[in-house]
């Protein structure tokens, strides 16, 4: 009998499953139901206990937990053994990981150890005549490829903000299974000398309901000042295109796009951004997309809902004044 279940890796941050874990459960539940199999999750680390209940209430049938006090520091080399062990136990048809820093490392390593290849950065999936099909952007976000797998389990990462998380269902029942895995010290070959988190001020970019992003068209770092004022006035966050970050005009942590953050706010205002596929891959999920660009033929206008073809310097101060009024 071939496998029918889905396994997800739920990443933990600050004692809770990350928002993208719930998206993984959302897609995982749908695909597992279509294949007629169970949905399982695997979690690692000392804070995982609190997350288990959340995962079950949002769709997991069983949660595999690895919580070894000797392994409290996160190492991808160790995590890989745990994920391998979980996959061996569950034997899923699909193992879905988040398209996060660690997910994008672990998915390919896991796949190659299994003599398979992963589908990276997927945004959707479906089952057609019993065949699992996943969709992923390619060519810098300009195209979508639909892929199927020739070896089992299928291993894939899911881009954030691509799926609806399931609503929590309090009282939903599930099983918790503890994973007892020996991690030989020599498995950990990479020494983590230091880990530093960016300090975030104000609203987090990936959680903001309003994002105002600036590109090379701002002409320099000063252009971002008015974007910040506008974001403050609206309770939103500031994003940037890659050139704006590469040029040092705005911190790299605010980069939106295929090699930066993915956002899906209610409102995205792109200022001085031309609309390259690589940028749009990070913001095309916005409910309302506004573009302000002096070039009426800029690509951004083929994605935008509302456009203003004008120099930003003239228009933004007027908008700010109206908002503040």
Partner 1 sequence: MIHIVVCAKWIPDPEVTATEFKIDPESLRRAEIAGLALVMSPYDEQCFEAALRIREQADEEVKITALCLDTDPMIKLFRQAFSWDVEAGFFLCDPVFEDSDGYTTSFALGTAIQKIGDVDLILTGRQAADGDEGMVGFGIAEHLGIPVLPCAAEVKVQDGSVIIERVLDNGFETLETPLPAVVTVSNEIGEARRPSMRQVMRAARQKPTVWSAEDIGLDAAQLDTSAMRLTVEDIFVPKVDHSCEFITGETPGDLAEALVGKLRELRVIP
Ligand X SMILES: Cc1cc2nc3c(=O)[nH]c(=O)nc-3n(C[C@H](O)[C@H](O)[C@H](O)COP(=O)(O)OP(=O)(O)OC[C@H]3O[C@@H](n4cnc5c(N)ncnc54)[C@H](O)[C@@H]3O)c2cc1C
Please report, as ranges, the residues that interact with ligand X according to CB under 6 A.
140, 215-217, 241-244, 255-260, 272-274, 276, 278-279, 282, 292-295, 298, 311-313
Decide whether 166 or 319 has the Cβ nearer to partner 1. Answer: 319
- Which of the listed partners (ligand X, partner 1, none) does 189 bind, with a CB threshold of 5 to 8 Å by partner kind? partner 1
Least distance from C-beta 150 to ligand X, angstroms?
A: 27
| CA 251 vs CA 109, 235, 255, 264, 318: distances in Å | 30, 19, 8, 20, 26
Least distance from C-beta 26 to ligand X, angstroms?
A: 24
Q: Give the tokens for residue 265.
A: 């706010």
Least distance from C-beta 209 to partner 1, angstroms?
A: 8
Decide whether 49 or 143 has the Cβ nearer to partner 1. Answer: 143
- Which of the listed partners (partner 1, ligand X, none) does 307 bind, with a CB threshold of 5 to 8 Å by partner kind? partner 1
d(CA 141, CA 91): 32
Least distance from C-beta 157 to ligand X, angstroms?
A: 16
Name the DSSP letter for residue 182: -
B/e letters for 126-164, b = 16+ CB within 10 Å, e = fewer, are ebeeeebbbebbeeebeeeeebebeebbbbbbbbbbbbe
**Residue of 141, 145, 154 lying closest to 114 (CA atoms):** 154
Decide whether 166 or 273 has the Cβ nearer to ligand X. Answer: 273
Decide whether 131 or 173 has the Cβ nearer to partner 1. Answer: 131
Phi-psi category of residue 281: left, alpha or beta, with phi > 0 → left and psi -120 to 50 → alpha: alpha
Decide whether 149 or 250 has the Cβ nearer to ligand X. Answer: 250
Least distance from C-beta 254 to ligand X, angstroms?
A: 11
């Amino acid at each position: 009998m071939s496998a029918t279940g889905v396994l997800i890796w739920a990443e933990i941050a600050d004692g809770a499953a990350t928002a993208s874990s719930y998206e993984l459960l959302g897609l995982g539940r749908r695909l597992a139901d279509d294949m007629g199999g169970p949905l399982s999750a695997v979690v690692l680390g000392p804070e995982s206990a609190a997350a288990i209940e959340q995962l079950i209430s949002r769709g997991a049938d069983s949660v595999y937990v690895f919580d070894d006090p000797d392994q409290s520091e996160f190492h991808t080399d160790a995590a890989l053994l745990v994920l391998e062990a979980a996959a061996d136990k569950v034997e899923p048809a699909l193992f879905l990981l988040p398209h996060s820093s660690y997910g994008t490392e672990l998915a390919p390593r896991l796949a190659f150890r299994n003599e398979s290849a992963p589908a990276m950065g997927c945004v959707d999936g479906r089952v057609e005549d019993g065949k699992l099909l996943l969709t992923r952007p390619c060519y810098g976000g300009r195209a979508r490829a639909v892929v199927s797998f020739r070896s089992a389990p299928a291993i894939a990462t899911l881009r954030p903000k691509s799926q609806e998380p399931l609503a929590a269902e309090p009282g939903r029942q599930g099983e918790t299974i503890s994973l007892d895995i020996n991690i030989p010290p020599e498995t950990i070959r990479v020494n983590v000398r230091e880990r530093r988190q960016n300090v975030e001020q104000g609203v987090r970019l990936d959680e903001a309901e309003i994002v105002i992003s600036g590109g090379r068209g701002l002409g320099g770092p000063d252009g971002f000042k008015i974007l910040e004022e506008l974001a403050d006035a609206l309770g939103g966050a500031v994003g940037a295109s890659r050139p704006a970050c590469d040029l040092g005009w705005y911190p790299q942590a605010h980069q939106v796009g295929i090699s930066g953050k993915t956002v899906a706010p209610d409102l995205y205002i792109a200022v001085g951004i031309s609309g390259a596929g690589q940028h749009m891959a990070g913001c095309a999920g916005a409910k309302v997309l506004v573009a302000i660009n002096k070039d009426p033929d800029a690509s951004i206008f083929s994605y935008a809902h509302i456009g203003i073809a004008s120099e930003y310097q003239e228009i933004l101060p007027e908008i700010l004044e109206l908002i503040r009024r």
